[in-house]
Amino acid sequence: MPGIWAVVPVKAFDLAKQRLSGVLSPARRLELARLMLLDVLDALARVEHLAGLAVVTRDADAAGLARAFGADVFIEETDAGLTAAVIGAATRLTQRDCSGMLVLPSDVPGVSAAEVECLLARHRKGHGFTVVPAHDGRGTNAIVMTLPHTVELAYGDDSCRRHLLHARAAGVEPLVVSLPGIARDLDVPTDVAAFLRRPSSTRTWRSLAGQATALFRERKKSA
């Protein structure tokens, strides 16, 4: 289907959120990854101006959750990393004659349909390349790009700066949009604390709020 598709790359749940190992057990980290994906899929499913939704993963549980939301599942054959997963999704969508792609991570549970609609409305048509930085200003928490893509993707350390440089090198002036829900990914304990300070109806917030006392008691013991 033509139009802009949302793509959510999902790491295997049992490997997710290793940097939270000091405050969350493996079982809790797995559950957190699962709940965050559900919140992201729920928000995207409410967005009217998306042509489709796809999840890129090797995780069978994540694939099952995606299909429950009516999303297409692009199965990764190998764990080649985030950049390769996004490029692979862009190739598949280009073959379907899709005009654009929104890439959103699975660990931004505070995202709302209204934020996504705002992002899509701000995105420049044609050869547009729009970026939402992470809350630290360094990471890239969302990209909207025209297909076929001409900007070299470069996820990883300091990716926001590199994406902006690569866009300009490709002759595309990038647009930077700040959106607090998308910006707040949950990677380290301070991210969790900041997320908890903004109550929401998300599955992730309810779960973490219910665990908060025990969670931070465990953190103090391990400090």
pLDDT digits (tens, 9 = 90+) for 58-88: 999 999 999 999 999 999 877 779 999 999 9
Instruction: Supply the range of the domain harboring residue 9.
Output: 4-222
H helices of the chain, where? 26-45, 60-68, 82-95, 113-122, 159-169, 180-183, 189-196, 203-222
The count of structural domains within the chain is 1
Q: Tell me the mean pLDDT in the region 137-144.
A: 97
Tell the residue number behind the tokens 């139009």, with chain if given. 3
- Give per-residue pLDDT as tens, 177-197: 999 999 999 999 999 999 999
Of 175, 188, 157, 214, nearest to 20 (Cα)? 188
Confidence of residue 222 (pLDDT cuts 50, 70, 90): very low
CATH number, residue 42: 3.90.550.10
| % residues pLDDT > 90 (the chain) | 86
Nearest to 132 by CA among 144, 146, 124, 121: 144
Give residue 215's pLDDT band: very low, low, confident or very high (50, 70, 90): low
pLDDT at 60: 96
- Average pLDDT of the chain is 92
pLDDT of residue 98: 96
